[in-house]
Amino acid sequence: MKNRILIILLTVIMSFLFVGLLFIQMRYVKDTVKLRETHFNEAVKRSIGDVARDLQDTGKRDMIQMVGSLLKTAFEDNGLGHISYYYQITENDTDVLYQTPKFYPEKEQYVFRQRLLPREQIYLKIYFPAHSDYIMKSVTLFVPSVVFTIMLLLTFAATLFIINREKKLNEIKTDFVNNMTHEFKTPISSIMLASQMLQDQNVTKTPEILAHISNVIKEETRRLNFQVEKILQISMFENDKSPFKFTEVEINELIAASVVNFSLKVKNRGGQILTDLKAENAWAMVDELHFTNVIYNLMDNALKYSKETEPLVLHINTWNENENECLCISIEDNGIGIKKENLKKIFDRFYRVPTGNLHNVKGFGLGLAYVHRIIRGHKGQITVESEIDKGTRFTIKILTLKNSE
Ligand code: ATP
Ligand code: MG
């Protein structure tokens, strides 16, 4: 909680700093542009003032010849030697006495005007085509500075995002450890109880009791083993090396064998498994152990998330698509279903649908992540459709062996 407040505080302070920084930069640019414009205007006015002074006593004809060179010197003297300009000399503001080849000022406000001869109505009009470039040159560094500021902002946002993700993962891992401890504790205490019974002199060890105790030990050890196996499977996620041993497998047979093993569990809870394995070409290159685990995980979920009021009916079908090139397997239950907004997350590691009133169903949230990973490793696809309170259907699609019948 403390961390959360710290992150929010940091975000607010950083956002404030960025807005402040941008504001100062804009202000700075505005002031610089204004200052440079004033400097430029003053330098131009000084230059054409100098020219007018030098021409004071000349006649009209000489004046026209002299203006060009006088302007050039005056601009050089006032630090504007490198900027290009066009000018025009007029009498009474209407008769053009002379003008440079190009003289089409785009905006009247950038034209400077100066009376040249004190006794006659002769005016010099001058304009600078690169006027705005000259002004903006002073703030060219503004663009990279804004880019840097934005990049800084993005880096900061990315850092926050990563911190947040790590935080979430941490919470999830704590949950996982709690869950795992619980899952291990139950079988361990059952085994402990059974061994205490064996040691207890007061318990008469009839063959029935011995059979019962050994059965408890066997079942609970199997459960422990299953949990350990699951966690081992998940360690696969950490290293990306292909852990598969592919062999040619008849998937219909693999499913039938898994169903036989699992149906006892389903029957104990009053449910049933109905299979319709009608895929003609069910041969595929799969890792037998992992693929069995996939089917087992899906059946396990169907049983775990079945309704309390209605016994489980589990339909498992296989069929071919694309002229026997694809093998499809569907596993459909009539359980509690999954809400649409949760459906897209169920293949995420450690994700469990928030249970509401179903507190008794334990799990790590790893089963489907494992299933997804294995199916991807087989270059297959798994999709899910679900309706709350109606049931869920998982469909797996993999490629069949091309040359087999
Ligand atoms: P475990 O790692 O022991 O399998 P888990 O069953 O909680 O734990 P997943 O198998 O990954 O984890 O399933 C993720 C979540 O998806 C479950 O917690 C459950 O809420 C939901 N879910 C999965 N299968 C079904 C299903 N057939 N019907 C309804 N909800 C399901
Ligand atoms: Mg599961």
Element of type H or E holding 241 = none
- Tell me whether residue 126 is in a domain: yes
In this structure, are 396 and 321 located in the same domain? yes
pLDDT at 151 > cutoff 60? yes
Report CA(167)–ligand 1 centroid distance (Å). Answer: 23
Could you tell me which residues come within 8 angstroms of residue 154 by beta carbon, excluding any fewer than 6 positions away?
none
Residue 286 sits in the same domain as residue 326: yes
* Average pLDDT across the chain, whole number: 86
What is the Å distance from ligand 2's center to 139 Cα? 62
* pLDDT of amino acid 303: 93
| Residue range(s) defining the domain that contains residue 203 | 142-232
Q: Does ligand 1 lie within 6 Å of residue 318's CB atom?
A: no
Ligand 2 center to 4 CA (angstroms): 31
**Residue to mutate (ligand 1; options 180, 336, 352, 393; most atoms within 8 A of CB):** 352
Whether the predicted pLDDT of 206 surpasses 80: yes
Nearest to 382 by CA among 360, 397, 399, 363: 397
pLDDT of residue 324: 86
**pLDDT of residue 74 exceeding 50:** yes
**Domain termination residue (choose one: 210, 232, 254):** 232
What's the pLDDT at 285?
A: 95
Query: Are 270 and 182 within one domain?
Result: no
- Among 266, 303, 305, name the best residue to mutate to test ligand 1's pocket (greatest count of ligand atoms within 8 A of Cβ): 305
Final residue before a domain boundary, out of 207, 232, 257: 232
Based on the fold, state whether residues 60 and 197 are members of the same structural domain: no
CB-ligand 1 contact for 306 (6 Å cutoff): no
Of residues 107 and 63, the one with the higher pLDDT is 63
- Domains held by the chain: number: 3
Q: Is residue 239 part of a domain?
A: no
Q: For residues 121 and 153, state if they share a domain.
A: no
pLDDT digits (tens, 9 = 90+) for 212-226: 888 888 888 888 887
Residues forming a β-bridge with 381: 397
Q: What is the pLDDT of residue 372?
A: 92
Q: What angle do CA 85, 86, 92 make, to 5 degrees?
A: 135
pLDDT at 116: 84
**Where are the extended beta strands (E) located within 129-200?**
none
pLDDT at 241: 63
155 and 133 belong to one structural domain: no
Residues 70/126, Cβ–Cβ less than 8 Å: no
Give the residue whose CA is nearest to atom 17 of ligand 1: 352
Task: Say whether both 223 and 339 belong to one domain.
Answer: no
Query: What share of the chain has pLDDT > 70, as a percent?
Result: 95
CA of 367 to the centre of ligand 1 (A): 7
Confirm or reject: Cβ of 338 under 6 Å from ligand 1. yes
State whether 152 and 190 are in the same domain.
yes
Query: How many Å is the maximal CA-CA distance in the chain?
Result: 141
Whether the predicted pLDDT of 201 surpasses 90: no
User: According to the model, what pLDDT value does residue 273 have?
Assistant: 96
pTM over 0.75: no
Residue 102 forms part of a structural domain: yes
Please report whether residue 237 resides in a domain: no
* 248 or 361, greater pLDDT: 248
365 lines ligand 1 (CB under 6 A): yes
* Ligand in nearest proximity to the CA of 230: 1
Residue 229 confidence (pLDDT) above 80? no
Whether 241 is covered by a domain: the verdict is: no
Q: Where are the beta strands (DSSP E) in 217-258?
A: 246-250
- Together in a domain, 221 and 170: yes
The model's pLDDT over 349-401, given as tens digits with 9 standing for 90+, comes to: 878 888 755 556 777 788 898 899 899 999 999 999 999 999 999 999 999 98
Q: Which helix (H) or strand (E) holds 295?
A: helix 288-304
Quick check: 272 pLDDT over 70? yes
Q: Mark whether 84 and 152 lie in a shared domain.
A: no
pLDDT at 107 over 90: no
HSE-CB for 30 with a 13 A CA cutoff: 6
pLDDT at 405: 46
Instruction: Give the C-alpha separation, 50 to 232, whole Å.
Output: 91
CB contact set of 253 (below 8 Å; sequence gap of 6+): 282
Which of 25-34, 199-208, 223-232, 365-374 shows the lowest mean pLDDT across its residues?
223-232
pLDDT at 237: 60
Average pLDDT for 232-259:
81
**pLDDT for res 146:** 85
**182 band by pLDDT with thresholds 50, 70 and 90:** confident
Ligand 1 contacts CB of residue 336 (under 6 A): yes
Cα 301 to middle of ligand 1, angstroms: 5
Nearest to 131 by CA among 29, 33, 32: 33
Q: Which carries the bigger pLDDT value, residue 287 or residue 359?
A: 287
Q: Please tell me the predicted confidence (pLDDT) of residue 404.
A: 46
Residues less than 5 Å from ion ligand 2, measured at CB: 301, 367
Residue 72 included in any domain: yes
Question: pLDDT higher for 138 or 13?
Answer: 13
The torsion angles phi and psi of 360, rounded to 5 degrees, stand at: -80, -15
Given pLDDT bands bounded at 50, 70 and 90, which one contains residue 254?
very high
Q: Which of 176, 230, 304, 343 most suits a substitution to test ligand 1, by most atoms within 8 Å of the C-beta?
A: 304
Residue nearest to atom 18 of ligand 1 (CA): 352
Q: Does residue 355 belong to any structural domain of this protein?
A: yes
Asked if 318 and 271 sit in the same domain, the reply is yes
**Residue 371 is part of a domain; what is its CATH number?**
3.30.565.10
Q: Are strands 272-277 and 313-321 parallel, antiparallel or unpaired?
A: parallel
| pLDDT score for 390 | 94
Task: Mark whether 157 and 134 lie in a shared domain.
Answer: no
- Asked which of 139, 162, 177 is the last residue of a domain, the reply is 139
Q: How confident is the model at residue 55 (pLDDT cuts 50, 70, 90)?
A: confident
- Say which residue, 77 or 183, is predicted with more confidence: 77
Residue 22 resides in a domain? yes
Query: Domain holding 164: CATH number?
Result: 1.10.287.130
The span from the CA of 300 to the CA of 312, in Å, is: 11
Residue 202 pLDDT grade (very low, low, confident, very high; cuts 50, 70, 90): confident
Q: What is the pLDDT of residue 253?
A: 95
Q: Is 301 in the pocket of ligand 1 (CB under 6 A)?
A: yes
- Residue 154 half-sphere exposure toward CB, CA atoms < 13 A: 6
